Amino acid sequence: MFELDHPNVIKIVEVIDDSKSDSNLESKEDEMHIVMDFIDGGSMQDRIEKDHPLQETQLHSWFLYAARGLAYLHSKGVLHLDMKPANLLLSDGVVKICDFGTSTWGDQLKRAKDGTPLFSAPETRVAKIKSAEAGKAADVWSLAASFYYAFYWGREYTNIMQVDSALRENPVALLSNPSGDGVGGGDSTQELFLKEFLCVLLDHDASTRMTMDKVLDATYLTPRDGEALVVESEKNFLGPLIPGATWVGEL
């Protein structure tokens, strides 16, 4: 994972293997420590708990960053397998994907570990991931589930089991917001667009679920007027997020 270098993916500095045995077989006493860049802005989970309900405008920019980082990982053959708000760190408003403890390369699925149940794709609850494409599809679900949770927490749900139950519904429950920012209350236009986008991504059928390259091309993720996308550095990444974006920082 050392070669991963993208502004929306945490940089791994060092991996310390503190195995207690010389055997190639894993032991419960084996430990591995991953040293990463220090990020002092907390996680999206922290912001959800502190500032709920989060505004759609804030979630939109975070969604842009997270999608871009995940697309980069997939382009490098990496499956994250535990996308969730706690693993989306914030640095000056920029999202960085972190925690590769469950991650694996697409050709090493036998070493894959289970992610967090609340954000796990429905197919992974009944069977192990058996292909790289299945792993990518599971990541897309988890990304969308993370933003479903972020949007609805404090609006409609205040209990984790409520979120879990809604995500298990097929199709996933997309509730209206009677006290929203739209005219006369209700959902604003952008909130409706977000819900429509989440509905597409949270497809219970992994074979028809949108892939990350399609996610980046989605209308919802088109940068908006006045929206600046912060870029720290650009080396070996997937390319511009979306044509027409406003960049801040050096390229």
User: Annotated active-site positions, please?
Assistant: 82
d(CA 220, CA 189): 11
**14 C-beta neighbours (distance < 10 Å), count:** 9
Compute the distance between CA of residue 213 and CA of residue 137 in angstroms, rounded to an integer.
12
Amino acid letter at 197? F
Q: Tell me how many degrees the CA angle 57-171-77 measures, rounded to the nearest 5.
A: 70
**d(C-alpha 56, C-alpha 70), whole Å:** 20
Query: Which positions ≥6 away from 120 have C-beta within 8 Å?
Result: 114, 138, 141, 142
d(CA 248, CA 246): 7
Residue 197 neighbours by CB under 8 Å, 6+ apart: 218, 220, 221
**Closest CA relative to residue 60, chosen from 249, 232, 193:** 193
β-strand partners of 34: 15
Cβ burial, residue 7 (10 Å; 0-12/13-18/19+): buried
Omega within 30 of 0 (cis) for the link into 171: yes
